[in-house]
């Protein structure tokens, strides 16, 4: 190997060592950082689960509307079945009130018709519909984490 | 300025909605072919539709038993089908003591009186069938043969109906003419003499409760005016045609509309 | 040093600062309750009989008095102003020093119960306005309760029978009224009752924002709301379907009862309750009828068209009805209710009535059943022609029962119970009608409905629920 | 030997006697500030005071120039920090106790209510004065020649002030706190509105991730209060102080406050300053190159003659002391009369109606009521970016230190004020009366509303107008004045509309008396 090539190789070897150590330091600190950041996401959530039981079919006689206040959910019971519309405004999360023409959000003026479709105001999406299903022991259940297309109804006597 | 735009939009919308509202609540669309002479057509329809309540002899004693209606305030009204034999009709456009005109009766058959369970027949019967039935009804009372119905009273609604001033005047008249004796201070039909009232057929009747928001004849100012002018013959409601000036009656109508909550 | 401008500013603002700091300190030193405690001390010294009491009063330190209630996790500082509440010498003093009325404090010592557990109000506050919580700007949901409703707090530990016996009649009468006005026909309490109205389990603890306060007169709090709501529900809630007729003084009794339905359990050693805390379920038919059915069916004898429900409420104790309807059909109606109308289903799963109770209820309803059996119709003998049935239905029945049988003056025919009813029963009803109600007897001579017609109409009525 | 011993005792006795005096002199290193030399040394050698120059330019002392806004903000910060620490003694950051602990502060802690009021009003006062300070720095074009980065640091301080105030009113856990937390969490999640319409939420859900990071879960609860508490008392204040330190340091390094190039002291200045000793002062009349003057970088002293500066010791410090006491007095008087709001306990079932943020966020809430992403993240981000870029887009050097630079500046400012008022009020009237896309075509895609809404239109107009001004006047400074004036005016008008003209359900009402009771 010629002298210069040799020197170049040597220099690069010394540089290589510098670079390697620097790289190791950076990578290790990054992993520590991500470990620390991961700490911010709790493994268990200190809150009620999004899937909950709402009661028996008989609790929702035909033609009535029930607002489950503590869950922010409206349960409608019509002759062709039961369906659940979320009361959480899709704009910024306030709980909407029911009016004769549909729903009205008190915080920023968003309005929805009685099927939860946005008709005025800043709300970006329609109100979520959630699926009502029957558990094995015959109690009705809703999962607010999963939203279903508007119009899905739970047929009482299918 | 802002409020007016919003209001004009709303009113436009309302008118559009109302004009869509056709259709009817009662009745079936039986396709009846006109058969036989006019009279026995009227008789046939009367037997099929009216005899149930008004009775075969038109004396109001049909097969339908006791009909009751509970108002929002909790008062229970007992509704009796009209007895034609006496020839006294409440809802007319002719002066008090007169027989109603042909149009009055046809209009009644047509619109019906929803709050008294008299069903409307707007689409169920054709024009001639209504006329035929009305003819048949006339046969029940002898009065129709002796007298002729008088001319109807023209009704022209003044512009200021329902204005604040007119309501104030109406309120004063309501006191002076002692309407409160039957209809009560607040127009709920709870006046001191309310429960002594009897109609010409001897049944106990209740003074009208304006706060229910709808009169039996219809709640437009014209209908209320006609009721005050012609009086409801056969009941305690007198006609004020002779005792009040025309303009005062309209003020009374304004106050009534306020009681019914139809005017701010 | 001629730097005058800034020196002046420094001087002046320094003076202002000093003044306001002193005023603030003074205001801090002289709270409201100090005035009352001084009056209290002075009054004791004046009226004290012997010297010992006078010395003790003299040594009374003037500071915030509070009752720390660990079990109820509350802190009540009402006694900072109401300092003489336990002191017999204060029985004729003027408020706030007056001694507590009656002998309540004997068996409810303040150091165990505090004050807000019964009187509500903001226990932590140390000034009158915020302690009483009166006025919208105090932002407090439970202002001090008017004394006429105070007995609503007793039922947190005692039950209604004991209270009635001991002479606390406001709450006892309120509870009795609740059982007799048929409230549970629409409201569920402890899982039993209809589902039209709101659940009443914790209505007494709901915050002010829960009630629409738009039309309330006077102070906007839950007490006024309940009283004015009982007086006329539709004044406060225009679209309410509540069917109640109550005399003025009864509104206070019912308001007291409703305010007694609270959330939260008192700790076990506070409670002296034999039975369950709420009104027990009576066992004879009549009381059951009064608790659940009377609000809409009144005495059951008269059927009337109701303008609130916009539908006819059938007479269930009507002789003609009892003659034709057998117990099985009535039981099925009570259990399943009438879907699409305000008639709720009362079986245990829904309304919460047990089998035995429904039987008792039906035996009460059918007490006055006439012995004569109606003449048989034997509908099986006819071959039903639905087409003609529909024809007849349109002319004769649609007037009252509605084109699709949804019912207005006539009752609703579409619901599953009527659809599944025995055709014989339907035919009898059409033929004999219901005396005392608007339903005419179509089978009578002279009106022209032959038995065959009736069979056809009945067959058509059975298909109504399929018509959209 | 004994002399040694004797003198040992004597000197010991002597030291005891003069112990206090020696302590005092060790404390006051430069002795009493009697002469110019000792006054200069008093400032120069004191740890706290040496943040300021030994000498101060007369223009800086003129109230009309700086209005003392930066200082007032700093003093309000001090008051807030002190009262905040006092509150921390009693406040307990858990859902069950937070509300009751604040109630106890109000009711039983000595002067608790007053201190809580002071903490609240000083905090809010900071927002007002930071905004005014920014305006003053802008209008006297003090963000130029070297001070550009200091302006950016100023912006960071503005954001931190808003952040601390926001996290502050979430702590009492009353209705305002709970629903503010819910709304802010959803604002943080609002990029989801954009990623949803672009359909990339599946693999890049920045909104969802940051919401969960902020809330510590899906709903506002125990975790969220603890995280907000951490933000309010530790994280944000630390950042604030770091930036503040750099901010103060750079003021000195970039050559003190800006001054107009041509400056003559007027008569009234005499009232502001105590003139230096004529003769024998350490600062001779003509220019010298002594260590005192030779500070690194462009200091006023080197290439300017000395007569327009005065010693800091009596003059600047008295001014600062006066200002501090004035602030303290103002805060105490305001807190004495007006109580900090404390609403009902948080109730997750029923939001307040109207659910109004404090006044300084109501302008933002108006924009929010058009679109969550744009009103919450998009437009504020754009505004801050725009503000940050101003010093780098407008580099004209002339007219420093003069309000509005010159007559043309004043005219442009007034024109922009009128134009912006008209456009905003016009836009608002249109939206209030006829609504927006959603009320005309219910099925309009959300992306369209996010991109075209009254907020965006207004910002678009602002940019176009300032570009037009640059073209017309040919100077970037004028364009900057137009843009900044419109930013201030829109902030003012939207805040007024949000406070006075918006009622329940965020509907329009002419006056508060028209609000329907619900």
> For strand A111-113 and strand A118-120, is the pairing parallel, antiparallel, or unpaired?
antiparallel
Beta-carbon contacts of C190 under 8 Å, excluding residues fewer than 6 positions away, are: C201, C276, C278
Question: Is-contact D379 D451, C-beta < 8 A?
Answer: no
Q: Where are the domains of chain B?
A: 2-146, 164-259
Q: Where are the domains of chain C?
A: 32-138, 147-259, 276-297+314-368, 379-466
CB pairs < 8 Å spanning A and D:
106
CATH class of the structural domain C147-259: mainly alpha
Q: Which of C17, C28, C140 sits opposite D110 (nearest CB)?
A: C28
Q: Which CATH superfamily is domain B164-259 in?
A: Cytochrome c-like domain (1.10.760.10)
Q: What is the mean pLDDT of residues B228-254?
A: 86
How does pLDDT run across C156-214, given as a tens digit for each residue? 888 888 888 888 889 999 998 998 898 988 998 888 888 888 889 999 999 999 999 99
Residue C436 pLDDT exceeds 50: yes
- The answer to whether domain C147-259 and domain C379-466 are alike in fold is yes
Question: Is-contact C441 C431, C-beta < 8 A?
Answer: yes
- Interface subset of D 210-239, CB within 8 angstroms of A: 212-213, 216-219, 221-223
Question: Is-contact C332 C360, C-beta < 8 A?
Answer: no
What are the Cα distances from residue C413, in Å, to A38, C397, C398, C400, D347?
63, 11, 11, 11, 45
Question: Partners of A154 in the beta sheet?
Answer: A82
Q: Which of A46, A107, A124 sits opposite D222 (nearest CB)?
A: A46
Residues of A in Cβ contact (< 8 Å) with D373: 124
Residue of D nearest to C21 (CA): D332
Beta-carbon contacts of B138 under 8 Å, excluding residues fewer than 6 positions away, are: B144
How does pLDDT run across A117-136, given as a tens digit for each residue? 999 889 988 999 999 988 87
Residue C387 pLDDT exceeds 90: no
Read off the DSSP letter of residue B202.
Answer: S
How does pLDDT run across D85-137, given as a tens digit for each residue? 999 999 999 999 999 999 999 998 888 999 999 999 999 999 999 999 999 99
C75 touches chain A (CB under 8 A): no
CATH code for residues A51-148: 2.102.10.10
Residues of C in Cβ contact (< 8 Å) with D110: 28
The residue behind tokens 């056809």 is: C456
State whether residue A134 is helix, strand or coil: strand
3-state helix, strand, coil in chain B (%, to 5): 45, 5, 50
Lowest-pLDDT range of A24-38, C26-40, C307-321: A24-38
Q: What pLDDT does residue D465 have?
A: 92
Q: What is the mean pLDDT of residues B90-115?
A: 85
The whole-angstrom separation of Cα C406 and Cα C338 is: 11
- Say whether D315 and C3 touch across the interface (CB within 8 A): yes
| Burial of B171 from C-beta contacts in 10 A (0-12 / 13-18 / 19+) | middle
The whole-angstrom separation of Cα D199 and Cα B148 is: 81
Residues of A in Cβ contact (< 8 Å) with D212: 41
Q: What pLDDT does residue B14 have?
A: 55
Q: Where are the domains of chain A?
A: 2-40, 51-148
For residue D343, give the nearest of D228, D503, D178, D501 by alpha carbon. D178
The whole-angstrom separation of Cα A150 and Cα A74 is: 13
Q: What pLDDT does residue D198 have?
A: 86
Average model confidence (pLDDT) across chain C: 86
Confidence of residue B11 (pLDDT cuts 50, 70, 90): low
Q: Which of D314, D319, D344 sits opposite C1 (nearest CB)?
A: D314
Helices (H) and strands (E) in chain D, counts: 25, 2
B22 touches chain D (CB under 8 A): no
CATH code for residues B2-146: 1.10.760
What are the Cα distances from residue D349, in Å, to A71, A125, C148?
8, 21, 30
For residue B90, give the nearest of B113, B70, B69, B56 by alpha carbon. B113
Residue of C339, C348, C406 best to disrupt the A interface, most CBs of A under 10 A: C339
How does pLDDT run across C228-265, given as a tens digit for each residue? 999 989 889 988 889 888 898 999 999 999 999 998 88
Q: Which CATH superfamily is domain C276-297+314-368 in?
A: Cytochrome c-like domain (1.10.760.10)
- The per-residue pLDDT string of chain D (518 residues; one tens digit each, 9 = 90 and over) reads 566 677 889 999 999 999 988 888 887 776 777 777 788 888 888 888 888 888 788 888 888 888 889 999 999 999 999 999 999 999 999 999 999 999 999 998 888 999 999 999 999 999 999 999 999 999 988 888 788 999 999 999 999 999 999 999 999 999 999 999 999 999 999 998 888 888 888 888 899 999 999 998 888 999 999 999 999 999 999 999 999 999 999 988 887 788 887 777 777 777 666 665 544 445 544 554 545 444 444 444 444 445 677 778 778 888 888 889 999 999 999 999 999 999 999 999 999 888 899 999 999 999 999 988 998 999 999 999 999 999 998 888 888 878 888 888 899 999 999 999 999 999 999 998 888 888 888 888 888 888 999 999 999 999 999 999 999 999 899 999 999 999 999 999 999 999 999 999 999 999 888 888 87
Lowest-pLDDT range of A101-105, C86-90, D507-511: C86-90
Q: Which of D351, D354, D442 sits opposite A95 (nearest CB)?
A: D351
Q: What pLDDT does residue D428 have?
A: 92
Q: Where are the domains of chain D?
A: 29-360, 371-518
Residue C445 pLDDT exceeds 80: no
ipTM of the complex: 0.74
Strand ranges inside C272-426, DSSP E: 304-306, 311-313
For residue C179, give the nearest of C254, C273, C251, C229 by alpha carbon. C254
* pLDDT above 90 coverage of chain B, percent: 1
For residue B157, give the nearest of B246, B244, B258, B264 by alpha carbon. B246
Nearest-Cα distance to chain B for D511, in Å, is: 13
- Interior/surface letters C192-209, b for 16+ CB within 10 angstroms, e for the rest: bbbbbbebbbebbebbbb
B264 touches chain D (CB under 8 A): no
For residue C397, give the nearest of C426, C375, C420, C354 by alpha carbon. C426
**Helix H segments across chain B?**
2-20, 38-45, 51-54, 102-111, 127-138, 143-146, 164-176, 180-183, 221-230, 246-259
For residue D498, give the nearest of D376, D375, D377, D356 by alpha carbon. D356
Looking at mean pLDDT, say which of A42-56, B10-24, C12-26, C375-389 comes out highest: C12-26
Residue of D nearest to C63 (CA): D108
Q: What pLDDT does residue D361 have?
A: 93
Q: What is the mean pLDDT of residues A24-48?
A: 79
Confidence of residue C117 (pLDDT cuts 50, 70, 90): very high
- Say whether C3 and D272 touch across the interface (CB within 8 A): yes
Question: Is-contact C395 B30, C-beta < 8 A?
Answer: yes
- The answer to whether domain B2-146 and domain B164-259 are alike in fold is yes
The whole-angstrom separation of Cα C27 and Cα C34 is: 11
Fold of C379-466: Cytochrome Bc1 Complex; Chain D, domain 2 (1.10.760)
Q: What is the mean pLDDT of residues B166-192?
A: 88
Residues of D in Cβ contact (< 8 Å) with C63: none
Q: What pLDDT does residue A5 have?
A: 60
D182 touches chain A (CB under 8 A): yes
Give this prediction's pTM: 0.80
- Determine B/D contact with 3+ CB pairs under 8 A as the test: yes
- Interface subset of B 55-74, CB within 8 angstroms of C: 56, 62-72, 74
Fold of D29-360: Cytochrome Bc1 Complex; Chain C (1.20.810)
Residues of B in Cβ contact (< 8 Å) with D432: 2
Q: Which helix (H) or strand (E) holds A144?
A: strand A140-148
End-to-end CA distance of chain D: 98
Residue C347 pLDDT exceeds 60: yes
- Say whether D429 and B2 touch across the interface (CB within 8 A): yes
> For strand C304-306 and strand B67-70, is the pairing parallel, antiparallel, or unpaired?
parallel
Q: What pLDDT does residue A98 have?
A: 92
Lowest-pLDDT range of A1-15, C109-123, C253-267, D229-243: A1-15
Q: Which helix (H) or strand (E) holds A53?
A: strand A51-55
Beta-carbon contacts of D348 under 8 Å, excluding residues fewer than 6 positions away, are: A70, A95, D178, D219, D220
Confidence of residue A83 (pLDDT cuts 50, 70, 90): very high
Q: Which structure tokens are listed for C331?
A: 């039981």
Report the C-alpha dihedral over residues D41, D44, D48, D53, rounded to 10 degrees. 120
Residue A47 pLDDT exceeds 80: no
Q: What pLDDT does residue D171 have?
A: 96
Q: What pLDDT does residue C281 have?
A: 62
User: Residue D308 — φ and ψ, nearest 5°?
Assistant: -85, 10
Question: Is-contact C153 C118, C-beta < 8 A?
Answer: yes
Question: Is-contact C277 C191, C-beta < 8 A?
Answer: no
Q: What is the mean pLDDT of residues C39-53?
A: 85
> For strand B67-70 and strand B76-79, is the pairing parallel, antiparallel, or unpaired?
antiparallel
Question: Is-contact D299 D54, C-beta < 8 A?
Answer: no
Question: Is-contact A98 A74, C-beta < 8 A?
Answer: yes
Nearest-Cα distance to chain D for C160, in Å, is: 31
């Amino acid at each position: 190997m010629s002298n210069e090539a040799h020197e170049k190789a040597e220099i690069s070897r010394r540089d290589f060592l510098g670079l390697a150590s620097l790289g190791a330091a950076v990578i290790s600190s990054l992993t520590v950082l991500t470990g620390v950041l991961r700490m911010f996401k709790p493994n268990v959530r200190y809150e009620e689960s999004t899937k909950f039981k709402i009661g028996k079919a008989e609790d929702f006689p035909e033609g009535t509307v029930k607002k489950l206040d503590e869950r922010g959910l409206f349960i409608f019971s019509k002759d062709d079945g039961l369906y659940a519309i979320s009361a959480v405004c899709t704009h910024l999360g306030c709980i909407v009130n029911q009016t004769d023409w549909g729903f009205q959000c008190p915080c920023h003026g968003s309005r929805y018709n009685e099927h939860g479709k946005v008709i005025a105001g800043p709300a970006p999406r329609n109100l979520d519909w959630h699926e009502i299903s029957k558990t094995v022991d015959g109690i009705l259940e809703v999962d607010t984490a999963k939203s279903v297309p508007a119009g899905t109804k739970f047929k009482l006597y299918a | 300025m802002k409020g007016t735009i919003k209001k004009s939009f709303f009113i436009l919308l309302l008118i559009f909605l109302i004009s869509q509202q056709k259709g009817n609540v009662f009745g079936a669309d039986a396709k009846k072919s006109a058969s036989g002479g006019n009279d026995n057509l009227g008789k046939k329809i009367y037997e099929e539709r009216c005899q149930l309540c008004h009775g075969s002899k038109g004396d109001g004693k049909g097969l339908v038993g006791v009909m009751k209606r509970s108002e929002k305030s909790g008062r229970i009204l007992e509704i009796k089908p009209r007895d034609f034999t006496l020839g006294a009709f409440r809802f007319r456009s002719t002066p008090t003591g007169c027989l109603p005109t042909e149009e009055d009766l046809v209009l009644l058959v047509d619109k019906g009186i929803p709050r008294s369970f008299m069903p409307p027949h707007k689409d169920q019967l054709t024009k001639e069938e209504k006329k035929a039935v009305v003819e048949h009804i006339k046969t029940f009372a002898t009065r129709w043969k002796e007298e002729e119905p008088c001319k109807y009273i023209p009704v022209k609604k003044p512009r200021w109906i329902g204005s604040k001033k007119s309501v104030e005047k109406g309120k004063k008249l309501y006191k002076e003419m002692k309407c409160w004796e039957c209809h009560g201070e607040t127009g709920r039909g709870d006046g001191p003499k309310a429960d002594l009232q009897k109609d010409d057929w001897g049944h106990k009747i209740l003074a009208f409760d304006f706060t229910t928001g709808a009169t039996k004849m219809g709640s437009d100012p014209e209908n209320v005016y006609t009721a005050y002018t012609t009086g409801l013959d056969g009941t305690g409601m007198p006609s004020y045609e002779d005792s009040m000036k025309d303009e005062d009656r309209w003020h009374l109508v304004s106050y009534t509309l306020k009681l019914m909550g139809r005017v701010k | 040093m001629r730097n005058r401008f800034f020196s002046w500013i420094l001087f002046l603002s320094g003076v202002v600062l000093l003044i306001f700091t002193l005023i603030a300190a003074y205001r801090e030193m002289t709270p409201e309750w100090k005035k009352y405690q001084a009056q209290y001390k002075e009054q004791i010294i004046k009226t004290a009989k012997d010297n010992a009491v006078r010395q003790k009063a003299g040594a009374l330190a003037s500071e915030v008095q509070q009752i720390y209630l660990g079990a109820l996790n509350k802190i009540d500082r009402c006694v900072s102003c109401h300092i003489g509440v336990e002191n017999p010498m204060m029985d004729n003093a003027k408020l706030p020093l007056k001694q507590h009325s009656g002998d309540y404090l004997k068996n409810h010592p303040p150091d165990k119960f505090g004050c807000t557990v019964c009187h509500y109000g903001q226990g932590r506050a140390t000034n009158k306005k915020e302690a009483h919580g009166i006025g919208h700007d105090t932002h407090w949901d439970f202002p001090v309760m008017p004394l006429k409703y105070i007995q609503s707090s007793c039922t947190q530990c005692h039950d209604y029978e004991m209270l009635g016996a001991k002479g606390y009649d406001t709450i006892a009468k309120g509870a009795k009224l609740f059982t007799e006005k048929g409230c549970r026909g629409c409201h569920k309490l402890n899982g039993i009752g209809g589902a039209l109205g709101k659940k009443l389990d914790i209505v007494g603890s709901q915050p002010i924002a829960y009630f629409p306060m738009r039309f309330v007169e006077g102070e906007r709090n839950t007490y006024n709301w309940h009283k004015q709501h009982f007086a006329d529900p539709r004044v406060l809630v225009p679209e309410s379907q509540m069917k109640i007729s109550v005399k003025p003084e009864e509104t206070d009794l019912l308001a007291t009862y409703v305010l007694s339905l609270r959330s939260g359990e008192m700790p076990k050693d506070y409670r002296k309750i034999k039975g369950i805390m709420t009104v027990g379920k009576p066992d004879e038919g009549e009381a059951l009828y009064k608790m659940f059915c009377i609000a809409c069916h009144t005495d059951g004898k008269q059927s009337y068209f109701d303008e609130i429900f916009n539908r006819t409420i059938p007479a269930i104790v009507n002789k003609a009805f009892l003659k034709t309807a057998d117990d099985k059909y009535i039981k099925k109606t009570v259990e399943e209710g009438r879907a699409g109308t305000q008639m709720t289903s009362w079986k245990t799963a829904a309304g919460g009535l047990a089998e035995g109770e429904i039987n008792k209820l039906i035996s009460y309803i059918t007490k006055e059943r006439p012995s004569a059996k109606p003449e048989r119709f034997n509908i099986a003998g006819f071959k039903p022609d639905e087409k003609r049935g529909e024809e007849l239905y349109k002319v004769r029945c649609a007037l009252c029962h509605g084109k699709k049988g949804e019912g207005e003056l006539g009752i609703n025919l579409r619901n599953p119970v009527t659809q599944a009813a025995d055709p014989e029963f339907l035919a009898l009803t059409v033929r004999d009608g219901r005396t005392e109600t608007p339903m005419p007897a179509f089978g009578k001579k002279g009106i022209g409905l032959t038995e065959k017609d009736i069979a056809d109409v009945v067959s058509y009525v059975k298909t109504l629920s399929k018509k959209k | 030997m004994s002399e040694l011993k004797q003198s040992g005792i004597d000197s010991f006795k002597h030291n005891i006697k003069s112990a206090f005096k020696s302590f005092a002199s060790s404390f006051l290193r430069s002795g009493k500030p009697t002469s110019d030399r000792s006054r200069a040394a008093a400032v120069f050698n004191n740890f706290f005071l040496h943040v300021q120059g030994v000498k101060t330019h007369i223009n800086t002392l003129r109230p009309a120039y700086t209005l003392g806004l930066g200082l007032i903000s700093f003093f309000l910060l001090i008051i807030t920090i002190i009262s905040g620490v006092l509150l921390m003694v009693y406040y307990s950051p858990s859902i069950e106790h937070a509300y009751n602990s604040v109630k106890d502060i109000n009711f039983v802690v000595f002067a608790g209510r007053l201190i809580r009021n002071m903490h609240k009003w000083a905090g809010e006062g900071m927002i007002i004065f930071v905004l005014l300070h920014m305006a003053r720095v802008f209008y006297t074009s003090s963000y130029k020649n070297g001070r550009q980065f200091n302006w950016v640091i100023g912006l960071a301080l503005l954001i931190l002030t808003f952040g601390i105030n926001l996290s502050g009113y979430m702590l009492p856990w009353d209705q305002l706190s709970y629903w503010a937390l819910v709304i802010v969490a959803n604002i943080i999640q609002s990029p989801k509105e954009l990623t949803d319409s672009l359909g990339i939420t599946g693999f890049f859900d920045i909104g969802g991730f940051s919401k969960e990071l902020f809330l510590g879960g899906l709903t506002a609860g125990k975790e969220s209060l603890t995280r907000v508490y951490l933000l309010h008392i530790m994280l944000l204040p630390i950042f604030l102080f770091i930036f503040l330190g750099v901010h103060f340091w750079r003021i000195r390094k970039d050559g003190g406050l800006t001054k107009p190039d041509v400056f003559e002291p007027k008569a009234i200045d005499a009232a502001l300053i105590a003139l230096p000793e004529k003769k024998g002062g350490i600062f001779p009349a003509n220019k010298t190159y002594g260590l005192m003057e030779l500070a690194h970088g462009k200091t006023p002293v080197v290439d300017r003659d000395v007569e327009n500066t005065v010693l800091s010791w009596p003059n600047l410090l008295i001014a600062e002391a006066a200002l501090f006491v004035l602030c303290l007095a103002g805060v105490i008087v305001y807190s004495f009369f007006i109580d900090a709001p404390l609403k009902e306990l948080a109730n997750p079932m029923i939001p307040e109606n109207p659910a109004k943020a404090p006044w300084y966020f109501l302008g933002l809430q108006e924009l929010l009521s058009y679109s969550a992403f744009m009103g919450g993240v998009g437009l504020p981000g754009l505004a801050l970016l725009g503000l940050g870029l101003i010093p780098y887009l407008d580099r004209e050097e002339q007219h420093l230190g003069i309000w509005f630079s010159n007559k043309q500046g004043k005219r442009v400012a007034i024109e922009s004020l009128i134009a912006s008022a008209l456009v905003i009020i016009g836009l608002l009237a249109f939206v209030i009366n006829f609504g927006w896309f959603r009320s005309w075509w219910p099925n309009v895609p959300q992306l369209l509303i996010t991109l075209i809404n009254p907020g965006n239109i207004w910002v678009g107009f602002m940019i176009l107008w300032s570009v037009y001004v640059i073209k017309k006047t040919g100077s970037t400074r004028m364009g900057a004045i137009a843009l900044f004036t419109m930013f201030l005016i829109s902030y003012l008008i939207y805040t007024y509309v949000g406070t006075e003209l918006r009622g329940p359900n965020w509907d329009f009402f002419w006056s508060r008396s028209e609000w329907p009771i619900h």
